[in-house]
Amino acid sequence: MGFRKKNKSPPVLSHEFVIQNHADMVSCLAMIILLGLMFEVTAKFAIMFITVQYNVTQILDEKSEPVNLYQYGPKDVATVFFYLLIAVILHALIQEYILDKMNRRLHLSKTKHSKFNESGQLAAFYLFSFIWGCSILTAEDFATNPTFLWEGYPHTHMVFQVKFFYICQIAYWLHALPELYFQKVRKEDIPRQLYYICLYVVHITGAYVLNLHRLGLVLLVPHYLVELLFHASRLFYFSDENKQKGFTLWALLFVIARLLTLTLSVLTFGFGLPRTENQGFSLADGNFNVLTIRMTCLAAICLTQAWMMWKFINFQLKKWREHSQNQASKKKMVSPKSKPHKREPARGGAANGVVKSEDKTSPRARKAKAS
């Protein structure tokens, strides 16, 4: 978490020093790459990091203007690395100037503090990616022509926005791995975060490499909307525990998104791609339209959706149990207290150590009677 004023400086190159100053170090590295553009000798290497590579100019019609399209290749690794650095810097800025200030006002516990930071970072990313993805899909006009998911496969050429979108997506999820160390994530939270980070990296990279970027983009947009709603609802919940209506809407949209993902995946891999003209496997042409790869991709998507539904059901059951326990405890507190029973007198007319006589005559009458 860089850009902070520290009272005590830890030893240079120690763990604490790297954690506190990682954003400053990354900023220096990014500046060095940018400065490479100023010199002719290093400019060609710096451009490989900063700009999108493998552009191809195509002329669709004789009357139309040439169109710049893009392919993927090994040089994309350098571009992903540079924007990974940018993601680390933006992560530190959001943490320092937004989330930390909100945490100081809310006075959250350590557990809620960690979850609040996680939801704040992811909500910002999901919002940005959802808006960006919607703008791309609007230009592609997917709503009126859903067959564009498989028509003309392999889709080896991409417009600039699509390729840059995937570069940024891969860079962001790869940057989340070192952030587990930089943000001092608790050990019990690391496995959970590693699961979904690795799933994002594998699925997005797979769609990019296998030339399935159209399907990947269509599946990411509704998924990001659902995740945005969840993390936004969790942020509101941490500010006020009575604000839980967002979770109900999230639960409904979560199930719809899973059904939509399965439907489009089965439609694409089961019916669309098997009927296209280009069948076969060719690395040079970027064609991966064979039964083995199609079934592997479909199985990976189905297993991921099943795992997400399993986690969702367990989450809902846990919330239901907590709600039932809270309701039961409230009923016990409201129920009237039982009235105490009257204490029965002891045998022989003695109560509390005092013997009571059944003779109700006065002492003088008893004395005269005895004489």
Q: What is the pLDDT of residues 172-214, one digit of tens each?
A: 999 999 999 999 888 898 999 999 999 999 999 999 999 999 9
- 224/5: higher pLDDT: 224
**Which neighbouring-strand residues pair with 58?**
67
pLDDT reported for residue 357 = 47
- What's the token pair of residue 75? 């040089």
SS3 content of the chain, % helix, strand, coil (to 5): 70, 5, 25
- Give residue-wise pLDDT tens across range 78-112: 999 999 999 999 999 999 999 999 988 888 888 88
pLDDT reported for residue 353 = 46
220 within 8 A of 204, measured Cβ to Cβ = yes
**pTM score:** 0.84
Asked if the model's pLDDT at residue 76 lies above 80, the reply is yes
- 60/353: higher pLDDT: 60
Phi and psi at 70, nearest 5°, equal: -135, 150
pLDDT reported for residue 109 = 82
- 234/140: higher pLDDT: 234
The residue ranges of DSSP E strands in 37-155, in sequence order, are: 55-58, 67-70
Work out the pLDDT band at 143, boundaries 50, 70, 90.
low
Work out the pLDDT band at 346, boundaries 50, 70, 90.
very low
DSSP class of residue 67 equals E
- What's the token pair of residue 25? 């170090």
Question: How far does Cα 98 stand from its chain's mean position?
Answer: 18
CA distance 318 to 327: 14
- Give residue-wise pLDDT tens across range 285-338: 999 999 999 999 999 999 999 999 999 999 889 888 877 887 777 777 766 544
Work out the pLDDT band at 140, boundaries 50, 70, 90.
confident
12 within 8 A of 18, measured Cβ to Cβ = no
pLDDT reported for residue 355 = 45
pLDDT reported for residue 238 = 87
pLDDT reported for residue 241 = 76
- Give residue-wise pLDDT tens across range 12-71: 778 888 888 899 999 999 999 999 999 999 999 999 999 999 999 887 666 667 888 999
Name the nearest CA neighbour of 211 among 70, 88, 348.
70
Determine which helix (DSSP H) or strand (DSSP E) holds 288, and give its type and residue range: strand 287-289
pLDDT reported for residue 347 = 47
CA distances, 281 to each of 287, 290, 291, 292, 297 (Å)? 5, 6, 10, 10, 15
Asked if the model's pLDDT at residue 371 lies above 70, the reply is no
